[in-house]
Structure 1
Amino acid sequence: MDVHLAVDADDFVNLCAANKDARLELTADGGLIVMAPASPDGSGRNAELTIQLGIWNKAKRLGKVFDSSSGYTLPDGSIRSPDASWIRSDRWAAVDRAERRRFTHIVPDFVAEVRSPSDGINDVRAKMSEYIAQGVRLGWLIDPETRTVEIYRPDREAEILASPEKISGEDVLPDFILDLAEILAD
């Protein structure tokens, strides 16, 4: 049974505050998305992605890395929470300190989603396209089930890679190479 609940941004903030352990997102039209907690398998894959991104960022000092608990208010009014994200230092520094404590009104430069078995592929693809439409410069949809990575960039069709060993952060994440061995492992 599908249940569609609609809330405004203020109600969403209150709902999140009252349900701190819930994983919630808000669509641009006010639709509430309730997500199941990640399984240990999925959480481990997400952690590996965030660890590698964090190690690269520590060495390069070019920006700020965020895990799956970060929520961003995008220009269309949606509040989304990618599995991993990154924002350039100069852009993050321009965000007011009080705004950083909320669902910050900023579009990440980079986002990644690691698809879990409970995620419908079309839903995750739509989310990735939404990120790009809102200003994300590079996005990865990593699907351990099919061992594929879909790379999303502005003004281009998604590029699908079958069983890649590594992927590049291109010019958005200079010199970052994600090793997919543990993320795509069975």
Structure 2
Amino acid sequence: MATLTLPLKLDLNQVHLSDEQFYQLCISNPDLNIERSATGVLIVMSPIGGESGNREMELGIDLGLWNRQTQLGKVFSSSTMFKLPNGGSRSPDAAWVKLERWQALPPEQRQKFPPIAPDFVIELRSRTDSLSLLQEKMQEYINGGVRLGWMLNPQDQQVEIYRQGQEKEVRALPTQLSGEGVLPGFVLQVDRFVEI
């Protein structure tokens, strides 16, 4: 394996990497889940357990089935890194981009970390996720251009809904979520999470 030498300028909370250096860091360390906040903070995400992994996949399946029927966009897994316009590089648990916006990207940009904010994101809080850091991440998505985001929080039996230009909405579970104008016709019934 080739080694990567990174000229890092250390600041108390930031590591300054070019987009190419960050890309190479992620590609050279495929076993690490690394994200970069809009302020340049590198975040190494811990792996998730079986229950969270299953829930995450089920959410992606629901989104994918809706998209397969409507063919309105592209669905992405948690392995996809998006380079947001506000400088962050983030991997939502599930994401969706409107087809016209995706097709407007040149093929070479689709191959690496797409420089686009998804239209819609889902984050599922796992046992290892800090609630405040996940809420900051959701706000970063909205600030970066995401139009609608859902953050499911099994620990508190609630979901937070983030929308452009609005305060977040918090709902207790069970609840029914609508894709609103972003995902027309997409409805997700979220029941209470049962811990095993």
Q: TM-score, normalised by structure 1?
A: 0.93
SS at match of 1:184: coil
Paired residues of 1:143 and 1:149 also in contact (CA < 8 A):
yes
Counterpart of 2:135 in structure 1 is 125
Q: TM-score, normalised by structure 2?
A: 0.89
Paired residues of 2:161 and 2:169 also in contact (CA < 8 A):
yes
Give, in whole Å, the separation in 1 of the partners of 2:135 and 2:90: 14
Paired residues of 1:75 and 1:134 also in contact (CA < 8 A):
yes
Q: How many residues align?
A: 183
Matches within 5 A, 1:1-186: 4=13, 6-8=15-17, 9-181=19-191, 184-186=193-195
Post-superposition offset of 1:28: 2.0
Q: For 1:111-137, what per-residue CA distance to the aligned partner results, in whole angstroms no more than 9, with x for missing partners? A: 110001111111011111111111111
* Percent of matched pairs sharing the same residue: 44
Post-superposition offset of 1:154: 1.1
Return the letter of the residue paired with 1:172.
V
Post-superposition offset of 1:4: 4.9
Return the letter of the residue paired with 2:135.
R
Paired residues of 2:14 and 2:39 also in contact (CA < 8 A):
no
Structure ID, larger Rg: 2
Q: Compute the RMSD of aligned alpha carbons.
A: 1.5
Return the letter of the residue paired with 1:160.
V
Paired residues of 1:112 and 1:140 also in contact (CA < 8 A):
yes
Structure 1 gaps of 5+ residues are none
Structure 2 gaps of 5+ residues are 1-11
Give, in whole Å, the separation in 2 of the partners of 1:29 and 1:153: 22
